[in-house]
Amino acid sequence: MKSRRTAFTIFVFLFPVFIIYTLFMIIPLIQTFVYSFTQWNGVTETTFTGISNYVKLLQDKDYWTTFMNTLKLVGLSAVIQIPVGLLVAYLLYCKVKGMKIFRTIFFLPVVIAPVAIGLMFSLFYNSEIGLFNKILAAIGLGALQNNWLSNVKTLLYAVMAPQIWQYIGLYITIFLGALQSVPEEIIEGAEIDGANKLQILHRIIIPEIRNFIVISLILSVTGSLKSFDHSWIMTKGGPGVRSAYLGVYMYKTSFVNSDFGKGSTITVTIVLLSLLFTILLNIINNKYSD
Amino acid sequence: MKNKTLKILALGMSIVMTMGLTACGATAPSTDQTDTSTGKASSAAKNDKVSIVLATNWGEGDAKYDYFYPEFEKFKESVADTIDITLETYTTEDYKTKIKTQTASGSLPDVFTYWGGGMMADMCDAGLLLNVDDYFKDSQTVKREDFEPGSFEFYVAGDGNTYGIPIESTRGILMANSELFKKYNLEYPKTYDDLLACAKVFNENGIIPMSMGSNGGSPSEFFFSELYNQYAGAEEELEALPAGGAFNTANAVKVGEVIQDMKNHQIFPEDTVTNGGYGPCLQLYTDQKAAMTYTYPWMFESIPENIQEMSDVIPMPQMPDSTVDSSTIETGFTVYGCLINKASYEDPAKHDAMVKVCDFIASDELNSSLVKSGMIPCKNVEVPYKDQKLIMQKTLDYSEGKDLVQVHYTKLPSASAISEMESGLDELFINAITPQEYVDKVQESITK
């Protein structure tokens, strides 16, 4: 009787979330999967084309460019955001005066709309009126001045930079919370045994907060995989698709070129890629947990 | 007791969430600006009204907003007893996406402003749009003859029918800052060599010779067409485009080469991406950081009066190997109009209201008002010359006796080809691809 009551309570609690998740996540995902096997311009009848969209996508140079751009963003975000976030959080954790103020300041960019950040950086990079080149010149690095968004070599990284920078604050906040959950007696014990700050970080804190690091990595990777705003606002993914990620390419394909079939195929690959990364990270985490 | 409370709480939450979902499912406009107020009409009277959705990109922030909205308000008041109008506005790029999404979801607005040619091709093919001759037959106040006959061309589909009421015509102009030219003792460039000589002097003095960039193909796509029309056979090639003509012509490659040569000679800003787009391009000119710029009348609202005074409209310099005298031609074409949702128009309950709304969009009053924003109307409306902005007066004076030539934008057969032309130009301007690669990319998109 009791278990039936518990089951009923669970059902009642889960029901609204189940409905919302099914309506706005599962059903659209299934629909997208179905559309990926069709040719549809959003207006006329859909035509079933089998796996031709997938075949075309594999031969599409622009798709692979955006795929590689996305992988680069995933890699750079993980390599920069997580270590920098952890390092800054650790510095703040080591009894820095005014920690709460710093935490707020570091978190501030996270709550600013990516559109605003994108616009701000495109002005910042402007060769004629932008501050970036002027600052470089002022600090004696004039030789590094560049047309950041008009140079094929710097374009992609100039578009990535604001996004990577913007979300570092998120990881600082996560890691700060994680660090505060580490029992102080363990750290005090290590200090009594003569361990320095670096050793404590390496030998005690990182293993203790491993789950937080994995979650942060998953957030960073999946966040990068669905990147859109910065690239779209700064360059519309261009010139061509040189600064586009998979999300931007999907949007351009579906809503600019009205090829919803191919757009759905790109979406399916984004989902698969997200799943792959999440599974990989969980496997690695489990391995080290053991 | 605790369990009971939890259960009641859970039940309450699930009811609220379910009701929320039902509310989400209800039909409601989701726009960044909607206006559905209908004056003092009672709710009972409201039920008898016909609801019409009018969509446009002339919202807040657009140059036409200040001239469109007061007229719309007046019209709305005048029909408040019978029509409940919902105005939906978005910024231009979002607006294009909105209409495409609404097309895909089968919820097109009843009346909406939109582009013709390749941009409306899919909607025409799917039979979603009304042949506007049906509207002209029904209208008591607006007739096809009221418009410039050539202005309908942009809205004529492959089946020969016209699917849009043309509203805005335009002219591409090269503006030159006379004071900067005087200051550096320079004449307006007539040939490409003159342009290079001017560029050298301007660059030495920290002035950008010509503010021209490419971000999402603007304003470079019209600039490309402006140069293209200087070459022999270009007019015929453009005319052939909608019916499957080639984009990858020798002329297109030549223009691509000229553009890259201009870039290499520092005629344009170094950073053509961040200085691309109509706004940033014009900004360099109005800030007097650039001596010339190529622009269109929809930007006139953003030109300060002192800059209008010191600006002259001049012919585009004659490009290398071109044979058509650039001082005799000017790009001039219909760029915008109004489309009518066929299903709504054929709905007997909505028909009369639809005619009234279309009459308003095509009215002399609205067109005359929009002219003040820098619009050249497709409709034959009398607008006193002196009432126009100074730069518009100069544009009209310059246009006298010019042969109007077309642009690729209005002639390309599909939205994807237009998109490829635009994004490819961004690459061409930063020398990321060769002119041949550029024209091949666009051609491939057309062929697809």
A chain contacts of residue B7, beta-carbon cutoff 8 Å: 8-9, 12
Residue by residue, DSSP assigns A29-61 as: HHHHHHHTTEE--SSS--EE-TTHHHHHHHT-H
Is A31's Cβ below 8 Å from some Cβ in B?
Answer: no
CATH class name, domain A57-289: mainly alpha
Per 3-state DSSP, what percentage of chain B is helix, strand, and coil (rounded to 5)? 50, 15, 30
- CB-closest option in A20, A122, A255 to B21: A20
Query: Is the pLDDT at B1 greater than 50, yes or no?
Result: yes
User: Which pLDDT tens digit goes with each residue over B97-128?
Assistant: 899 889 888 899 999 999 999 889 889 988 99
User: Chain A: nearest CA to B101, how far in angstroms?
Assistant: 7
Confidence band of B11 (pLDDT split at 50, 70, 90):
low
Say whether A255 and B271 touch across the interface (CB within 8 A): no
Query: Is the pLDDT at B42 greater than 50, yes or no?
Result: no
Is A39's Cβ below 8 Å from some Cβ in B?
Answer: no
Query: Is the pLDDT at B44 greater than 80, yes or no?
Result: no
Residue boundaries of the structural domains of chain B: 32-169+334-386, 171-333+389-447
Query: Is the pLDDT at B32 greater than 70, yes or no?
Result: no
What value does the mean pLDDT of chain A take? Answer: 90
Q: Which residues pair with B329 in a beta bridge?
A: B403
Query: Is the pLDDT at B322 greater than 90, yes or no?
Result: yes
Say whether A12 and B11 touch across the interface (CB within 8 A): yes
Say whether B270 and A147 touch across the interface (CB within 8 A): yes
Q: Which of B176, B134, B113 is nearest to B361 (CA)?
A: B113
A chain contacts of residue B269, beta-carbon cutoff 8 Å: 127-128
Is the Cβ–Cβ distance between B138 and B353 less than 8 Å?
Answer: no
Q: Chains A and B: how many Cβ contacts under 8 Å?
A: 128
Largest CA distance in chain B: 93
User: Which pLDDT tens digit goes with each residue over A109-147?
Assistant: 999 999 999 999 998 998 878 899 999 989 988 888 888
CA dihedral A208, A209, A214, A217 (to 10 degrees): -140
pLDDT at res. B162: 96
The SS3 call for residue B211 is strand
Query: Is the pLDDT at B232 greater than 90, yes or no?
Result: yes
User: Chain B: nearest CA to A223, how far in angstroms?
Assistant: 23
Residue of chain B whose alpha carbon sits nearest to that of A153 = B432
The highest-confidence range among A200-214, B25-39, B242-256, by mean pLDDT, is B242-256
B chain contacts of residue A9, beta-carbon cutoff 8 Å: 3, 6-7, 10
* Separation between Cα atoms, residue A230 and residue A162, nearest integer Å: 7
Q: Which residues pair with B295 in a beta bridge?
A: B173
Say whether A150 and B274 touch across the interface (CB within 8 A): yes
Say whether B416 and A9 touch across the interface (CB within 8 A): no
Q: Which of A49, A231, A20, A42 is nearest to B273 (CA)?
A: A231
Average pLDDT over residues A184-197: 88
User: Chain B: nearest CA to A226, how far in angstroms?
Assistant: 19
Look up tokens 């690729």; give the residue.
B408
The fraction of chain B above a pLDDT of 90, given in percent, is 72
DSSP letter (8 states) at residue A181:
T
Domain B171-333+389-447, second-level architecture: 3-Layer(aba) Sandwich (3.40)
- CB-closest option in B18, B284, B419 to A16: B18
Is A16's Cβ below 8 Å from some Cβ in B?
Answer: yes
Say whether A12 and B125 touch across the interface (CB within 8 A): no
Please state the length of chain B: 448
Residue of chain B whose alpha carbon sits nearest to that of A241 = B423
Is the Cβ–Cβ distance between B389 and B308 less than 8 Å?
Answer: yes
User: Chain B: nearest CA to A238, how far in angstroms?
Assistant: 6
The fraction of chain B above a pLDDT of 70, given in percent, is 90
Residue of chain A whose alpha carbon sits nearest to that of B7 = A9
Is A47's Cβ below 8 Å from some Cβ in B?
Answer: no
Is the Cβ–Cβ distance between B113 and B167 less than 8 Å?
Answer: yes
- Look at phi and psi of residue B381 and say left if phi exceeds 0, alpha if psi is from -120 to 50, else beta: beta
Amino acid at A52: S
Q: Which of B438, B252, B335 is nearest to A238 (CA)?
A: B438
Task: Write out residues 3-32 of B within 8 Å (CB-CB) of A.
Answer: 3, 6-7, 10-11, 13-14, 17-18, 21
- CB-closest option in B6, B214, B271 to A9: B6
Residue B179 burial class via C-beta count within 10 angstroms: exposed 0-12, middle 13-18, buried 19 and up: middle
Task: Write out residues 160-199 of A within 8 Å (CB-CB) of B.
Answer: none
Confidence band of A86 (pLDDT split at 50, 70, 90):
very high
* Separation between Cα atoms, residue B206 and residue B225, nearest integer Å: 28
* Separation between Cα atoms, residue B281 and residue B101, nearest integer Å: 30
Is the Cβ–Cβ distance between B135 and B110 less than 8 Å?
Answer: no
Residue boundaries of the structural domains of chain A: 57-289
The SS3 call for residue B329 is strand
A chain contacts of residue B103, beta-carbon cutoff 8 Å: 42-43
Say whether B17 and A122 touch across the interface (CB within 8 A): no
Domain B32-169+334-386, second-level architecture: 3-Layer(aba) Sandwich (3.40)
User: Which pLDDT tens digit goes with each residue over A12-52?
Assistant: 888 888 999 999 989 999 999 999 999 988 888 889 999 99
Is the Cβ–Cβ distance between A220 and A109 less than 8 Å?
Answer: no
User: Which pLDDT tens digit goes with each residue over B338-373?
Assistant: 999 999 999 999 999 999 999 999 999 999 999 888
User: Which pLDDT tens digit goes with each residue over B162-207?
Assistant: 999 999 999 999 999 999 999 999 999 999 999 999 999 999 999 9
pLDDT at res. B29: 42
Residue of chain B whose alpha carbon sits nearest to that of A40 = B104
Say whether B274 and A258 touch across the interface (CB within 8 A): no
Say whether B284 and A12 touch across the interface (CB within 8 A): no
Helix spans in A47-153 (H): 52-58, 61-93, 99-111, 114-125, 131-138
pLDDT at res. A66: 96
User: Chain A: nearest CA to B396, how far in angstroms?
Assistant: 32
Is the Cβ–Cβ distance between B55 and B91 less than 8 Å?
Answer: no
* Separation between Cα atoms, residue B237 and residue B239, nearest integer Å: 5
Q: Tell how strand B111-114 and strand B329-340 pair up.
A: antiparallel
Average pLDDT over residues B118-143: 93
Question: Who wins on pLDDT, A175 or B4?
Answer: A175
Question: Which of A21, A150, A243, A251 to mutate to test binding with chain B, by most B CBs within 10 Å of its CB?
Answer: A150
Query: Is the pLDDT at B37 greater than 50, yes or no?
Result: no
Average pLDDT over residues B240-246: 89
Task: Write out residues 203-222 of B within 8 Å (CB-CB) of A.
Answer: 208, 214-216
- End-to-end Cα distance, chain B: 69
A chain contacts of residue B101, beta-carbon cutoff 8 Å: 42, 255
Say whether B100 and A255 touch across the interface (CB within 8 A): yes
Residue of chain A whose alpha carbon sits nearest to that of B442 = A240
Asked whether this complex has an ipTM greater than 0.85, the answer is: no
Say whether A256 and B419 touch across the interface (CB within 8 A): yes
Query: Is the pLDDT at B39 greater than 50, yes or no?
Result: no
pLDDT at res. B27: 44
Q: Which two tokens stand for residue B142?
A: 């607006």
User: Chain A: nearest CA to B137, how far in angstroms?
Assistant: 28
Average pLDDT over residues A57-86: 95
Look up tokens 């709504």; give the residue.
B344
User: Which pLDDT tens digit goes with each residue over A233-244?
Assistant: 999 898 999 999
Confidence band of A290 (pLDDT split at 50, 70, 90):
low
Is A262's Cβ below 8 Å from some Cβ in B?
Answer: no
Query: Is the pLDDT at B257 greater than 70, yes or no?
Result: yes
pLDDT at res. B300: 93
